[in-house]
Structure 1
Amino acid sequence: MITGDADADLRRLVADPTFPHQDAARHAMRFRASGDVTDLVAIQDDPQPCDVTDVVFALAGSKRPWLNWVPMPSEAISNVANEIGSRQAQGEQLKVTGLGLSAAEPASAMTACRRIAGPIEIGISEFPAPDIRNPVRQGRYAVWRYDGEEPVPAVPAPSAAAVKLLQEVGGEPWPSILSGYLQAAPLGELPLDDLLGLLAHLPEAPDSPRWQHLAKSTPTYWYRLVQPWACLGILHHAKDEPWSTSTRREVLVDLAFGIEDWVADAALFALVTAAYRDPAVREEVRQLVRARLDAAVAADRMVTIEESLAQLMLVTPGCSAEDRAIATAALARAEQDDGADEEEPEAEPAPPRKRRWWRGRS
């Protein structure tokens, strides 16, 4: 019986001589203690995989970023949106007509803010180098473009049927990165244009008790969560195509190295999911995640997705000692910036502390 206490459950499985996957449970315990992704991969590569090893894998990744939940938005504009949205959800008549940011933040974060707070004017003091509006690498696929300082979708809006399906499929976090892939299979039946449209034309949250509750605290989390779901849908697109020349690979790589945005780490998350499922793509994916993290680390300014990229690097199959050192250093800097550890509580990840100055104009 699984109790919800992952560590206690794993200790019980390891101690049970009748449990047929004790080695997998031991790997899970070691991963939770050390964070060495080699142990996590060993569970997935069990010589006798089954539903039980999938459960052990889920226990190993319980309450861990990307393995079980998407990191919370860390932008100042997201903190503002959460404050406005939560006060409105609790009945306060609050209206903000304008905000000012000291530096540009991701297009998705700005869009999520406007979904919550309304069509507010957002003033940006500067676009420090490297300019957030420029892709890390030029590619064929992109979902955002900029009209001066304003991010605008570069793709058509998705169909109403696609929005409805995403709300149904993505209404909850995934129990594990593996089960999330399976759960996203219906999204893979959507046209590619719909999947790309869902990434930029962020749909509203489902009218469910879960999201009604989160609207009172962290309404931006829905918008952060839906993009990885859409990218898992892209991972299912045209699955008969060989990986190396597939549309799904090209789209995800282009998005990962596009403009600095939530879409970038969402696309990398889907690629990491592919790496768990297919050992043949692991080294390529590891190199892609490291290259994107390197680009964030090299920027001589705050990169709001750097922390989530580092968290993703640590759970990427094949993560080397050097990869781990780079990621760990990035997380240490983020922790120092926050001034306190960020912990994931029982129900939802906690919003991080604000890390950039902003001002409001009413």
Structure 2
Amino acid sequence: MVSEDVDAKLRELAADDGFPHREAARRALRFRTSGDVADLVAVADDPHACATTDMLFAMAGHRKTWLNWVPMPQESVVSITRDIVRERAAGKDLAVTELGISGPEPASAIAAFLRVAGPVPVGIADFGQPDPRVPLRPGTYAVWRYRGGDAEPAVAPPSAEAAELLQRVAAEPWPSPLAGYAQAEPLGKLGLDDLLGLLVHPPQAPDIPRYQVLAKSDPVYWYRLLQPWVCLGILHHAKDQPWATSTRRQVLVDLAFGVEDWVSDAALFALVTAAYREPELRAEVRDLVRDRLIAATEAPRPVMIWSSLAHLMLVTPGAVEGEKALAHAVLRQSEDDEEEEAEADEAPEPVPPRPRPSGWRRLFGRR
């Protein structure tokens, strides 16, 4: 387990002349201070890697987005779901008969809302462009498809055994992506149909205190959390296949650039995890994360996983200054948008949205 007072412990280890991984401790502490992913990569690449360096890696990422926890969902349907749960917990007989939202939200978020609200018609006023129902790149594997404005699973439900296994594997959070990868190994023994089915036919949350509490306040988070676990399981699928032509690579890339969804960034998270483990994958993974972030930035409509993609870019091995600058600009914009929404709720007149981050084309030498 990682100590709560991580920074103090890392300072202690970094100053200990007798500690054999003193430099790794220094780099871990530096990452926590500066956020420079190069320092985190240096910890992962320690020439004498062992359980101790794995612990230092986990300490470096303690309470950091994607390194220790999955971003909290922020969609409007998720906020409505939380309100429904709170109202029902207060004893109110709340029934939702229909829901209309102005723009597209991830199919997984809407599916999680329907799990709580029941079979409610959900209308989306305008999907915008690029159409989130259409994959960004053609691929072989998909887990969602649309019939008009309604998303439906494109794969069959998983077996009961697969559902039970996921509940056991994902019952506790990962200390780090590397630890999560190891913890997800049992999922790799499942067939690909089961793994894909788990992404869009999720089982109920484990019946343990952690999720019993969440069920009363934020039942949607389990559905957000389980998908990265499944994608880590996909990393273990058919590991004997060479990476470049492997099924596991093709599945994760197809999902990352498929229908816009929570599954998209979950797949990229698994690819980033693979890049930490296998340095030869880093250039490809960095390009994939960057391209997905740029696609979200170029979209003239809101992309609900935009800030999540930015957080991923900041922890992607090999990320260069321009890519990190874009990610920071996205996160600043996201914070401004949240403040703007709070102000708009109190404003007598509608507040026009702010533009997307400027200068990203110049950062990448694009015109």
- TM-score tier (shorter): over 0.9
Using the size of structure 2 for normalisation, the TM-score is 0.91
The corresponding residue for 1:54 is: 54
The corresponding residue for 1:348 is: none
- 1-structure distance, mates of 2:324, 2:103: 29
The corresponding residue for 2:230 is: 230
Percent identity between the aligned chains?
Answer: 61
The corresponding residue for 1:243 is: 243
Say if 1:162 and 1:190, in contact at 8 Å, map to a contact too: yes
The corresponding residue for 2:328 is: 328
Say if 2:158 and 2:198, in contact at 8 Å, map to a contact too: yes
The corresponding residue for 2:27 is: 27
- 1-structure distance, mates of 2:198, 2:60: 31
The corresponding residue for 1:39 is: 39
Q: CA deviation at 1:126?
A: 1.0
The corresponding residue for 2:258 is: 258
| Structure 1 residues 223 and 107: alpha-carbon distance in aligned structure 2, compared to 1, 3 A threshold | same
- 2-structure distance, mates of 1:354, 1:13: 45
- 1-structure distance, mates of 2:133, 2:30: 41
1:132-147 correspondence runs (5 A): 132-147=132-147
- 2-structure distance, mates of 1:3, 1:196: 35
- 2-structure distance, mates of 1:113, 1:9: 41
Q: Does residue 281 of structure 2 align to residue 281 of structure 1?
A: yes
Q: Does residue 156 of structure 2 align to residue 175 of structure 1?
A: no
Q: CA deviation at 1:90?
A: 5.1
Q: CA deviation at 1:89?
A: 4.3
The corresponding residue for 2:212 is: 212
1:82-161 correspondence runs (5 A): 82-89=82-89, 91-161=91-161
| Structure 1 residues 216 and 288: alpha-carbon distance in aligned structure 2, compared to 1, 3 A threshold | same
Deviations 1:218-257 (A, max 9, x none): 1111000000001001000000000000000000000000
- 2-structure distance, mates of 1:197, 1:286: 27
1:179-218 correspondence runs (5 A): 179-218=179-218
Say if 1:74 and 1:355, in contact at 8 Å, map to a contact too: no
Deviations 1:28-79 (A, max 9, x none): 1110111100000000100101111111000000000100000011111111
The corresponding residue for 1:76 is: 76
Q: Secondary structure at the match of 1:311?
A: helix
| Structure 1 residues 355 and 7: alpha-carbon distance in aligned structure 2, compared to 1, 3 A threshold | farther
Deviations 1:129-170 (A, max 9, x none): 111111111100000000111000000010111111101101
Q: Secondary structure at the match of 1:339?
A: helix
Q: CA deviation at 1:214?
A: 0.9
Q: CA deviation at 1:82?
A: 1.6
Which residue identity lines up with residue 3 of structure 2 in the other structure?
Answer: T
Q: Which structure would you say has the larger RCO, counting Cα contacts within 8 Å and 6 or more residues apart?
A: 1
- 2-structure distance, mates of 1:127, 1:169: 36
Using the size of structure 1 for normalisation, the TM-score is 0.92
Moved more, 261-270 or 168-177: 168-177
Say if 2:58 and 2:176, in contact at 8 Å, map to a contact too: yes
Q: CA deviation at 1:127?
A: 1.0
- 2-structure distance, mates of 1:250, 1:355: 43
| Structure 1 residues 174 and 90: alpha-carbon distance in aligned structure 2, compared to 1, 3 A threshold | farther
The corresponding residue for 2:299 is: 299
Once superposed, what is the RMSD of the aligned Cα atoms? 1.7
Moved more, 250-259 or 165-174: 165-174
| Structure 1 residues 103 and 68: alpha-carbon distance in aligned structure 2, compared to 1, 3 A threshold | same
Unaligned runs of 5+ in 1: 341-351, 357-362
Q: CA deviation at 1:204?
A: 1.3
Say if 2:310 and 2:330, in contact at 8 Å, map to a contact too: yes
Name the count of aligned residue pairs.
345
Unaligned runs of 5+ in 2: 346-367
| Structure 1 residues 354 and 142: alpha-carbon distance in aligned structure 2, compared to 1, 3 A threshold | farther
| Structure 1 residues 38 and 355: alpha-carbon distance in aligned structure 2, compared to 1, 3 A threshold | farther
| Structure 1 residues 77 and 278: alpha-carbon distance in aligned structure 2, compared to 1, 3 A threshold | same
- 2-structure distance, mates of 1:229, 1:82: 23
